[in-house]
Structure 1
Amino acid sequence: MINVLIVEDDPMVAEFNKQYVALVEGFQVVAVARSGDEALALLKEHDIDLVLLDIFMPGKTGIELLTAIRLQGLPTDAIVVSAACDQKHILAATRLGAVDYLIKPFEFERLQESLNAYREWATAVTSQPTVRQSDVDQLRQRKEQSFPQQVPKGIDRKTLQTVWHRIKQSGGQSFSTEELANLVGLTRISMRKYLEFIKQLDLLEHEISYGSVGRPIYKYRCLNPNSPLITRYF
């Protein structure tokens, strides 16, 4: 069983994450910490394999906590779960050894995928004294293939390529479903399907705002315009 520590200052978010982890086979939440100092104390008190770590917290930030974990040589891995979506925090977390980075809000399936990949990796490297290169390569290949190879029903590959081309032209600026639909020549409902598919590949982030008449407005922003991941679907 993989022991998990959730480090999250928002009680509601912490509870959601705890329930999510409970749904994934092979994981159990040992404790929840509301601050970096509390997390460090719990890491020394319990046998923790994995930390689900927020970035913005009172006192120590998640990056400072991850730095302290590494400096103190604590034997635990970390998956960052945060609203911080800027390059600075993502690179810092990665360089400090975070095995994955999830940007809030996220779907349960994305966390499930991350935990499953971690479980496979942890099982492979702890089940035998030495690991072959072929074992490492196989695990990397499984992670890459965890994304669906077929586009969902209602998604046309050529249109998907056009949509992605327009998204790349946004230059990192946010755009609405309707704005992109007008550029490509699709209905707003059809465009939503394409954007949600691309979002599942972790290439878009989105937020919801409400206009004067109360209709939700979905705003998207491209996270990685140079990712080769989407090209396999063209």
Structure 2
Amino acid sequence: MISVLIVEDDPMVAEMNKFYLEQVEGFQCKGWAKSVGEALIKLADESFELILLDIYMKESNGLELLSALRRGSKRIDVIIISAASDKDSIRDALQNGAVDYLIKPFEFERFLAALSAYKEQHFLFRNQDSLDQSELDKLTGYRKEPSTVQDLSKGFTRHTLRTVWKAVETHNANSFSTEEIAVSSGISRVSVGKYLAVLADMGALNSELTYGTIGRPVQRYRMSSRGSSVISKFI
């Protein structure tokens, strides 16, 4: 089991993170600290392998803890879970070795992806003395950019991609949902959702979750600045 320390000053958020953590096999929450000071005390007394770290806390800034860890001799991995979305905080976190960065609010699927990727990395480093290029590429997230429609995914066609993209272009710089593209393109919502997800992965679209007053959050998309150039090779 991978031992985890949650560093978060909001008890309700800390409890939610713990609940999410308990849904992922292979992890165990062994402690909670509501400030950098408390975290340092716990780290001195107990052994942890992973920290789920908030940045904006009332008494301290989580990046101080991350910097302190990197200056010290302990090898403890950190995943940032924070509302901090400014580029300076993100850059500082990544440059100080955070293995992932989740911006609040997030969905469980993103949390699961972060923990699953970390678990694979953790056991790979623990069990192997060296890595080959394919294993390293997997850890660093390197993916060969697809060059044809067939490279995108099994079942994708140029005709459907062209139809979806034409519907996307009608929105120009405005955001849109899967449902809106399905209506305007005449393609099923499930199929449109798959195409939009791939287009977002390719960088042709930007995606964001929007929260209304009622119901679940909605995934919305917007054409990226390089969307047309990315899609041109496929359609």
- Give TM-score scaled by structure 1 length: 0.70
The amino acid that maps onto 1:207 is T
Matches within 5 A, 1:1-234: 1-128=1-128, 130-134=129-133, 136-137=135-136, 139-140=138-139, 149=153, 156-162=160-166, 170=173, 175=175, 177=177, 181=180, 185=184, 194=193, 198=197, 203-210=206-213
Residues 90 and 142 of structure 1: CA distance in aligned 2, closer, same or farther (over 3 Å): closer
The amino acid that maps onto 2:39 is A
Residues 38 and 69 of structure 1: CA distance in aligned 2, closer, same or farther (over 3 Å): same
**Alignment: residue pair count:** 215
Residues 58 and 221 of structure 1: CA distance in aligned 2, closer, same or farther (over 3 Å): farther
Identity, in percent, stands at 33
Give, in angstroms, the shift of residue 175 of structure 1: 4.5
Deviation readout 1:174-231 (Å, 9 max, x if unpaired): 84659x959x9569x96xx759954985942333245xxx89996958697559xx96
Give, in angstroms, the shift of residue 46 of structure 1: 1.4
The answer for the alignment partner of 2:149 in structure 1 is: none
C-alpha RMSD of matched pairs (Å): 4.2
Give, in angstroms, the shift of residue 87 of structure 1: 1.6
CA contact (8 A) 1:206 1:219 kept: yes
Give, in angstroms, the shift of residue 160 of structure 1: 4.4
Task: Give the unaligned 5+ runs of structure 2.
Answer: 145-151
Residues 133 and 198 of structure 1: CA distance in aligned 2, closer, same or farther (over 3 Å): same
Residues 185 and 54 of structure 1: CA distance in aligned 2, closer, same or farther (over 3 Å): same
